[in-house]
Amino acid sequence: MAIVWGRHPKYALFVFVVLATTFYLLDPFSLPPPEPLPPLNIDSVKGELPKRLARADAIYDKVLADRQGLIRHFGPTPQDVMMFPPNKDPWPPYTVWDFFPAAYNCPHELVRVGALGDGGKWVCGLSRVETKKDCVIYSVGINHESSFEAQLLTSTSHCEVWGYDFSVSSFGPQITRSLSPRTHFFAYGLAGNDHIPPPNAPSTDYPMYTLQSLMKMNGHTHIDILKVDIESWEFETLTTMLKPYLESGEPLPFGQLQLEIHLWNKTFEDFLEWWEMLESAGLRPFMTEPNLVYVNYNRQASADLAEYSFLNIKGDNIFIKDKPEVHAH
């Protein structure tokens, strides 16, 4: 290189610039951060939020009654309802998802955060945490795609993200160097029970923790937004997670839940029981999307994956309670 530099300094400088630019572009931390969402700052008019929630409750109560009617029509019991009816005459005009519409009205603005394809999620009331100083986000299941987490960070001033996934070693490349100070990644899994591998455990034996244990490790008493994508383990994990709250009557420690549901090997009766458990814990679906990417890649597959976003209507989380007014003394 020294010989080339001495004989052809302009050529050597050009080569140096090309190489430096290439390394810069290949560095995932050099990616430009995602564009923040437009400033929101549209908190509900004083006294309006309880009215919106009451109306959303009434609308959802009708859906609960309609669900029972649909079960009687196509059942007449849950054991008789098929998840995805075969093509026969007469053709039953429904799929399992028709029994569980995302019919709860978000009382704030509804915004999609992250990629428009697989990876993005719908959030109710991002404005409620836009400037919240103790904003806590948990993201379970990264899989090399972090557009959701990245846009949450660029659109808020204080939110921090705790990420968990034992199948990868970091967040996806969307978490740039400028965003990384507000992120915390751990190669742990979310499970119904804690499991700490012994020192001589195989490399495939990963640490697993309950949500309560993870929150205790981090010193958290609340989570504003919880995103979970754990490839069908959501049934076992959420069942164990919610049980103590259902037994005690205490509200769940998170404000909303973004969850991908995988119906692999599930019956309608089992799914209905699990879903009604979510509802009993105070979770109400306000948005859903079938995972059509999965259907497209598996041409013969049923649409048995769907994204749901839930609002927790119990307790005093930031999405259902107005911020207390601060009075000057």
* pLDDT over 70 percentage in the chain: 81
pLDDT for res 57: 97
To the question of pTM greater than 0.75 for the whole model, the response is yes
- Pair 246, 238: CB distance under 8 Å: no
Enumerate residues 6+ apart whose C-beta is below 8 A from 246: 277, 280, 281
pLDDT category, 326, cuts 50, 70, 90? very low
Which DSSP letter does residue 256 get?
A: E
Assess whether pLDDT exceeds 50 at residue 93.
Answer: yes
Q: Are 319 and 108 in contact (CB under 8 A)?
A: yes
Q: Give CA angle at 11 (10, 13), nearest 5°.
A: 65
Q: What is the mean pLDDT of residues 203-209?
A: 89
In what side-by-side order are the strands of the sheet with 283-290? 183-186, 160-164, 136-140, 223-228, 254-262, 305-312, 283-290
pLDDT value for 329: 41
